[in-house]
Structure 1
Amino acid sequence: MLRQRLARTSPATSLAPSLADWLVAVVVALFAVAEELSERGMAPVREHASWWAVAGVVAAGGVLFRRRAPFAVLAAYSAANVAAFVLVGEPPAAWQFYTQLVLLFTLLSEMAHRSAKVAVGLVATGAYVAGMLASTSPAAGPGDVAVALVMTAIAAGAGLAVRRHRVLAVQAAERGELLAREAVAEERARIARELHDIVAHSVSVMTMQAGGVRLMLAAGQGREREALSTVEEAGRSALIELRRMVGLLRAADTDRLTPHAGLDRLGDLLDQVRAAGLEVTLDVRGEPVPLAAGLDLSAYRIVQESLTNALKHAGPTRAAVTVAYRPAELRLEVTNQPPPPGHRPPVAAAPGGHGLIGMRERAALFQGTLTAAPLPEGGFRVEAVLPL
């Protein structure tokens, strides 16, 4: 899984070279041409400088596609240069060494460190450095050897660091996705338990009413009695199946004995929040109307989670709850001010937390919408619109 995610996030997976690849390749080509065709004060002029300039352009082509095949490009480049050092015997140019370092960095940043190709690439780079130092004229001194080894180590270390950073980033993303999925599953299970109670209660009432009417029928109403018996039997079967499907969700349910929450219990909720240190006000607009049990419960949970987040992220500050009853919708708004001066919240308030995931699940359950965002002047606002 981690290897697949790393492959998807690697620039090597793109079909065309990126702008950065083009930039590095152009720099290598210009560097090689400029060094080969101009007078070099630090090294003797090569006899076939024009051919070496062409070789530099070809090497730049390999650099352009180095992410597509990091091992193949490095191996071919190292082998070609070592052969040139041995056969030609001309002193190496600076652009050759820097290109080798770029290819080494790419190999270590793109491939797993325990790969056999990485080991071969390191050996090839070592052979290149040894051949470069052996063919240098005048002979390389201890300082030259030290500089070459340090620059090679820096390139290798940078590649390892980039690879490690990518691994950690992918692992963090996977953990975040896992936690988000667990939060969604947990919230859906909680919603299922609550809806189970609501639906089971309603079906039970219908079944009992049907049974009561059946017992009140006259002796000659056999057809009506049979229809009501069918309704009773269907109701009982529905209850059995409902409890069977949702029964597993009851295993960890510790709130089954608590009364169902709704907007009529907001007063108790606000008292609890005030006792925890959050100064909160309630503004009810419009004429309250009876709500479906599931909608009423979800609206309460949205307000509850919003205030919980305010306490968690902002600490002892002020908040305002607005419940607006409109002809076709119920609008909920919870805003909180920023933390007081000198107070550092334990967790930074950021959209996309697991509490927000649960609230969005509840709003979507009733074809509603939920928006949550920081306020320009500081603080945070959660707004939910639930169709009636």
Structure 2
Amino acid sequence: MFRRRPPTRVDWLVASAVGLFAVAEEISGRTMAPSRQYLALWVAVGGAAAILVLFRRRAPFAVLSVYSTANITSFALLHEPAAAWQFYTQLVLLFTLLSEVQPRSAKAAAGVAATGTYVFFMIAIASPPPGWGDVAVGLVMCAIAAGAGLAVRRHRVLAVQAAERGELLAREAVSEERTRIARELHDIVAHSVSVMTLQAGGVRLMLHEEQEREREMLTTVEEMGREAVDELRRMLGLLRGPQDGGSDAQPGLDRLDDLLEQVRAAGLEVTLDVQGEPVRLPAGLDLSAYRIVQEALTNTLKHAGPTTAAVTVGYHPLELHLEVVDQGPRGSRGSRGREGGHGLIGMRERAALFQGTFTAGPLGSGGFGVRVVLPL
């Protein structure tokens, strides 16, 4: 489930600590056993253990198996008691194994069994023999290492599941918003094509009898227009849900005053600044611009509550600029969490539909700003 990556800085740090601990303990002779008979060999073994620790996450079961087998074999053949670093390294490898593999897998069971066997031999050949208190401490440390590994794995699994759910919800939100945009724009396109078809029919009726070629061309335009309208209506029927009604008149920027009155009634003090000379906008772009302002103000009410906001609509020669900036919450309510959600997704999708740019984020003053540039 988790990708195996090259050793990280933490892996290098842990491996270095194990290596230094092993070498220092062997050289100083501060072990649970008398002085080693083959000191140089055990120093090399400590370095080899550090290398295994370095790559423990790449192959946790193989590393633990090799380490446990080597130690148990040395216990059985050399009868030399274990050093403290050997026991601690075993715990590190057990923790890593249980944090990487399925808890109920054969590898997990084998790893626990290998650690139990290691502890049994360690206690059996210890000199002097450990007391019950020492045995209890060793078993508790093994249980802590195993439990910590299981807890880390569970946390990672939950984190992966949460990320997957977040991605799924985001995709669903984008799909829902695109469907909503498509419903609205299909109304506009169907209306525009219908008007074009009617005008073509009107021109055809005004032609003289000798203009047969022109009449045939306009007849073809009418027929194609009617077919296009029929296809649009079929598509619109698929996009509309059972709760959708008929095709109401779609709003545009000319109805911003009505929108601002509604949000003012909800407690938001909002001002409107129109810059430049208003021009007639394409119906789809006009609708999307209105929806962007509407969604931005709705987000302000939802996350900041009653506050102060400013809406700026700028008509430029080649671009339409929209800006909605609020002053942030007035009480202890925070504005965190406004970076995500369906509202920003919808505004971003509407801007992308017309090859526009969309930016949104918190302001230094504690408020939040939404800025959109739509090409004309």
C-alpha distance in structure 1 between counterparts of 2:84 and 2:300, whole Å:
60
- Out of 103, 119, 142, which is 1:113 matched to? 103
The answer to whether structure 1 residue 158 and structure 2 residue 148 are counterparts is yes
Matched residue type, 2:256: L
- Three-state SS of the structure 1 residue aligned to 2:371 is strand
The answer to whether structure 1 residue 95 and structure 2 residue 94 are counterparts is no
8 A contact 1:66–1:73 mirrored in 2: yes
8 A contact 1:323–1:332 mirrored in 2: yes
- Out of 286, 295, 316, which is 1:326 matched to? 316
The answer to whether structure 1 residue 222 and structure 2 residue 222 are counterparts is no
- Three-state SS of the structure 1 residue aligned to 2:109 is helix
- 1:333, CA displacement in angstroms? 0.6
**Deviation string, structure 1 residues 337-382 (Cα, Å, up to 9, x no partner):** 121124x36x733323321111111111111101001000101000
The residue that corresponds to 2:287 in the other structure is 297
Matched residue type, 1:153: A
- Three-state SS of the structure 2 residue aligned to 1:92 is coil
- Out of 44, 51, 64, which is 1:74 matched to? 64
- Three-state SS of the structure 2 residue aligned to 1:324 is strand
Q: What does 1:304-319 correspond to in 2, within 5 Å? A: 304-319=294-309
Q: What does 1:59-208 correspond to in 2, within 5 Å? A: 59-208=49-198
**Identity across the alignment (%):** 70
Matched residue type, 2:200: A
TM-score scaled by length of structure 2: 0.96
The residue that corresponds to 1:279 in the other structure is 269
8 A contact 1:314–1:349 mirrored in 2: no
- Three-state SS of the structure 1 residue aligned to 2:157 is helix
C-alpha distance in structure 1 between counterparts of 2:32 and 2:138, whole Å:
16
The residue that corresponds to 1:239 in the other structure is 229
- Out of 34, 37, 53, which is 1:44 matched to? 34
Matched residue type, 2:350: R
- Out of 370, 375, 387, which is 2:363 matched to? 375
- Out of 5, 9, 21, which is 1:19 matched to? 9
**Deviation string, structure 1 residues 283-339 (Cα, Å, up to 9, x no partner):** 111111110001100000110110111011111111111111111111111011121
C-alpha distance in structure 1 between counterparts of 2:238 and 2:110, whole Å:
55
- 1:238, CA displacement in angstroms? 1.2
**Deviation string, structure 1 residues 213-245 (Cα, Å, up to 9, x no partner):** 222222222212111110111111111222223
8 A contact 2:310–2:325 mirrored in 1: yes
C-alpha distance in structure 2 between counterparts of 1:349 and 1:84, whole Å:
57
Matched residue type, 2:115: T
The answer to whether structure 1 residue 355 and structure 2 residue 368 are counterparts is no
C-alpha distance in structure 2 between counterparts of 1:314 and 1:248, whole Å:
37
8 A contact 2:32–2:127 mirrored in 1: no
C-alpha distance in structure 2 between counterparts of 1:253 and 1:195, whole Å:
18
- 1:36, CA displacement in angstroms? 0.9
8 A contact 2:299–2:343 mirrored in 1: yes
C-alpha distance in structure 2 between counterparts of 1:144 and 1:114, whole Å:
29
| Aligned CA distance change for structure 1 residues 253 and 323 (closer, same or farther; 3 Å) | farther
The answer to whether structure 1 residue 260 and structure 2 residue 240 are counterparts is no
C-alpha distance in structure 1 between counterparts of 2:170 and 2:328, whole Å:
26
8 A contact 1:104–1:156 mirrored in 2: yes
| Aligned CA distance change for structure 1 residues 74 and 42 (closer, same or farther; 3 Å) | closer
8 A contact 2:253–2:289 mirrored in 1: yes
Matched residue type, 1:378: G
Where do 5+ consecutive residues of structure 1 fail to align? Answer: none
- Three-state SS of the structure 2 residue aligned to 1:372 is strand
- Out of 236, 240, 254, which is 1:250 matched to? 240
C-alpha distance in structure 2 between counterparts of 1:228 and 1:41, whole Å:
100
8 A contact 2:351–2:357 mirrored in 1: yes
8 A contact 2:32–2:83 mirrored in 1: no
C-alpha distance in structure 1 between counterparts of 2:338 and 2:125, whole Å:
59
C-alpha distance in structure 2 between counterparts of 1:200 and 1:208, whole Å:
12
The residue that corresponds to 1:387 in the other structure is 375
Matched residue type, 1:375: L
Q: How many aligned residue pairs are there?
A: 376
C-alpha distance in structure 2 between counterparts of 1:129 and 1:145, whole Å:
9
- 1:164, CA displacement in angstroms? 1.0
TM-score scaled by length of structure 1: 0.93
- Three-state SS of the structure 1 residue aligned to 2:325 is strand
